[in-house]
Amino acid sequence: MKAAHHEAIDPKANDLVREAIAYSIRVHGEVGVQVAAYLNGRLVIDTWDGIADPATGRRVDGDTLFNVFSVTKAVTAVAVHIQAERGLVDYDAPVSRYWPEFGAKGKNGTVRHALTHRLGVPFMPEGVTPETMCDWNWMVRELTGMDPQYAKKSAYHAITLGWILGEIVRRTDPQHRDFGTFVQEEICAPLAIGDLWIGIPDAVEPRVATLIDYPSLPPYRQPGSPGYRSQPTNIGTCAAVYGRPDVRRACIAAAGGIFNARSTARFFAMLANGGELDGVRLLSEARVRSLGQPRPNPDEVDPVLMFPLQVGMGGLRINDRPEPRMSTASVGTNPRVIYHPGAGGSIAWADPDARLAVAICHNRMFDTYVSADKDPFVPIGNAVRKALGIPT
C-alpha cells in the first residue's frame, strides 16, 4: 500500500519543500519536521529533515511519529460526522439523548454545541491526574457531574472535547467499540491510513519522536485563568505528561494523537476531495462543505483562549477570519480552507478549491502566539503551494 501511495511523488516539489524545512531548522530553531501533501487525491510531497531524538541523535524519517495535540480534534469530529452520515446522530439533538447521564446539572446542549465548543464543559475535573486522564470511564463519569460553564457561548474545550465527542460516538456505535478502535476500523482501515493513533500500540513506540517543550506556558494557560482550568499544568501539553508511556497509549481524543505527516495528509485529503478518497466515501460532499460554515457569533471572544475562536459548524477551524495573536498563516489565504492546529505548532489543512491537503508534524513546541513572519511553518506552507503551482 505504501508504494501505491508514493507513485505520484514529485521529486522537484519534494526538494523545494525540504529546503524550506531546512530553513525552518536553521533560522527558526526547529528540530525535526515532516511534511506531506496530497493533490487531487495523490501523495505528491512526502519529505522530512532533522532530529527525532536529540539524546540519541536519531533522525527523522518518513515513519517517525509525532505528538500532534489538537490536530487530533479533526479526526474526532469526523468520527461524529460519520455517525451523522449513517443516521445515528442528529446534530440538533441534546447530547443527553445519546448519553443520558450527561444531562445532570442542567447540561442541555446539543451535539452541534459540542462540536463548536459551546457545550459549557471546558474545564477538566477537579483532582485530575495523568493517571485518571488515561481512564476513559473515570473521565466520562466526572464530566457527567460537572456544572455547565459559559453554556451556549464559546469556551474552548481543549481536552474535554475528546471524551464528549468520543462518548457520543461510542454510545451510538451499534458495536459500542472504544473510540480508538472506532477510528482505526471506520476511518483508518477504509482509507488505508497506517499511522493515525489515538492511543499507540506498543509496537510503534520506538518510532515516536521526543517532544521538546514550549519555552514557557502560552498566555491563555497562566495559573488561575479559564485556560489553566481547561489544561492544569499537571496534565498540560508537555513532555512530562504526553511523553509518558501510559498517556501515549491512552485514548485522549482531543489532544493525544500521535501521527505522522503522510497519514495526517491522507486523512485531510479525504476532506479536500469532498469526503471521498480512492473510491472510498466516508462523508457526502454536502456534509464536507458544511464544515466550512461559520458557527453563530463568530467574533465572540472565547474566555479560555482570550480571542475569538474561528471554528466552523463541523468542529474544524475555518480560514475566513484569521485568528488574531495565533499564527496559523501557513494554511494560506483561501477563506475556504478548513484546518486544525495543535499545541506547539503542528497543523494540517484541506483546501477544497485546489483539492490540496497538507500536514506538518514536528517535535519542538513553539509559541504559536506570534506574527506570521515568526512562524517557522509559513515558509513551508508557501513552499508547498509554490512547488505545486497553487496561489498562496
Tell me which residues are annotated as active site. 70
Dump strand ranges (E) for the chain.
Answer: 32-39, 42-53, 58-59, 66-69, 196-197, 257-259, 276-277, 280-281, 301-302, 307-308, 317-318, 338-341, 347-351, 356-362
Tell whether the model's pLDDT for residue 1 goes beyond 50.
no
Q: Are 268 and 352 in contact (CB under 8 A)?
A: no
Collapse the DSSP code of 373 into the 3-class scheme (helix H, G, I; strand E, B; otherwise coil) and give the result: helix
Strand order in the sheet with 66-69: 66-69, 257-259, 196-197
C-alpha cell at 320: 475566513
pTM reported for the whole predicted model = 0.96
Q: Using N-to-C axis directions, what is the helix angle for 136-144 and 160-172, rounded to 10°?
A: 100
Asked which of 14-23, 256-265, 270-279, 315-324 is least confident by mean pLDDT, the reply is: 315-324
Query: How far is the C-alpha of 71 from the C-alpha of 347, rounded, in Å?
Result: 6
Tell whether the model's pLDDT for residue 140 goes beyond 90.
yes
Query: How far is the C-alpha of 134 from the C-alpha of 2, rounded, in Å?
Result: 32
Cα–Cα nearest to 368, from 350, 386, 342: 342
C-alpha cell at 170: 461510542
CATH architecture of 78-184: Up-down Bundle (1.20)
Query: How far is the C-alpha of 380 from the C-alpha of 20, rounded, in Å?
Result: 5
DSSP annotation of 254 reads T
Average pLDDT, the chain: 94
pLDDT at residue 7 in the model:
65
DSSP annotation of 286 reads H
Tell whether the model's pLDDT for residue 155 goes beyond 50.
yes
What band does 3 get if pLDDT is binned at 50, 70 and 90? Answer: very low
Asked which of 2-11, 72-81, 289-298, 339-348 is least confident by mean pLDDT, the reply is: 2-11
Query: In this predicted model, what pLDDT tens digit does every residue of 368-382 receive, in sequence order?
Result: 888 888 999 999 999
Query: What is the mean pLDDT of the segment spanning 318-339?
Result: 83
Query: What is the mean pLDDT of the segment spanning 152-158?
Result: 96
CATH 1.20.140.10 for domain 2-73+192-388: no
What residue segments make up the domains of the chain, in order of their start? Answer: 2-73+192-388, 78-184
Q: What are the DSSP calls for 52-99, one per residue?
A: EETTTTEEP-TT-BEEEETTHHHHHHHHHHHHHHTTS--TTSBHHHHS
